[in-house]
Amino acid sequence: MKIGLSTYSLVNLIRNEEMSIFDAIEWIAQSGFEHVEIVPFGFPLENNPQMADSIREHAQKSGIPISNYSILADFLKNSPEAYEQEIERVLREVDIANRLGTKLMRHDISAFRRPFEQNSIIQFEKDMLKMVEACRRIADYASQYGITTTVENHGFYVNGGDRIERLIHEVNRPNYKSTLDVGNFWCMDEAPIVGVKKVIPYAAIIHLKDFYFRTARNFPGKGTMFLCNSGNWFKTITGNFLRGAIVGEGDIDMWEVLRVVKDYGYNGYITIEFEGLEDCRIGSLQGLKNTRFILDNL
């Protein structure tokens, strides 16, 4: 297994212009990570192929592979025209992934901030055909480049082990798999170890993320929906609370999670994502140290 870092972990520095994407790639390479995942927050790549080329070249010079390209998307539009426009936009993002030189690309399916009352399994089944058609078309387009597209258990709708498994089976493409985020299952109040066991057979890449968890009754403060890496507490689908933690230091049983991953025989990319209150460089490096220690001692 190769342990890398998502540029999302450094997004606060990138957005505040304390670090460029090129600085971030160089720092990730020099810090001992084995790959970098590109998440274009603070440096949009859509309609900017020259920037994608520059990122690929800089990663090559830094001696670190680009493992994955992860973007937002929302196919659950109110009109057929908007639906088609979003599919076409994501197809162009596949072109960007190809220019980056990666063979993996994660695209979302629904908006992260959908109202909770719209996120039932009943609505999920109603939206299934629309979601499946979009994902098939994008996977089929990506196949010309040898790219595998993936669904991440992300947000509060297309999340949870059963929903991810159902969607992947319906899309039914050999190059459509999962970006398995070990922490995000808690957004749906599904035990992370349960979600990991359900989705690991479909994993093309793994996101290693940790959270602090508090029940609604035992939560000490005020919850809020968080912006990227704000470190704030936020509500789960049933009203419990989560806050980002350093990998291996939160409330997820990371030893058991990684034991399941290792015992399954997974040997691909593992990407650390840091969303905590600590300095993002310290949090990312400590997460790397903790992950290596756990894997070396299982």
Domain that holds residue 27: 2-211+254-297
**Counts for the chain of helices (H) and strands (E), in that order:** 9, 11
Average pLDDT score, the chain: 95
**pLDDT band of 233, cuts 50, 70, 90:** confident
Q: Considering the chain, what percentage of its residues have pLDDT values greater than 90?
A: 92
| pLDDT at 226 (0 to 100) | 47
In a domain, 247, yes or no: no
CATH number of the structural domain spanning residue 30? 3.20.20.150
In a domain, 64, yes or no: yes
In a domain, 175, yes or no: yes
In a domain, 232, yes or no: no
Owner of token pair 């900017």: 48
| pLDDT at 113 (0 to 100) | 85
**pLDDT band of 218, cuts 50, 70, 90:** confident
The Cα–Cα gap between 54 and 13 comes to: 20
pLDDT at 60 over 80: yes
In a domain, 225, yes or no: no
In a domain, 234, yes or no: no
Cβ atoms within 10 Å of 258's Cβ, excluding its own: 22
State the chain's maximal CA–CA distance in angstroms: 53
> pLDDT tens-digit profile of 106-160?
999 999 889 999 999 999 999 999 999 999 999 999 999 999 999 999 999 999 9
**pLDDT band of 272, cuts 50, 70, 90:** very high
Q: Tokens representing 163? A: 């929903």
Task: Give the total number of structural domains in the chain.
Answer: 1
| pLDDT at 204 (0 to 100) | 98
> pLDDT tens-digit profile of 70-109?
999 999 999 999 999 999 999 999 999 999 999 999 999 9
Task: Over range 272-276, report the average pLDDT.
Answer: 96
In a domain, 241, yes or no: no
> pLDDT tens-digit profile of 160-211?
999 999 999 999 999 999 999 999 999 999 999 999 999 999 999 999 999 9
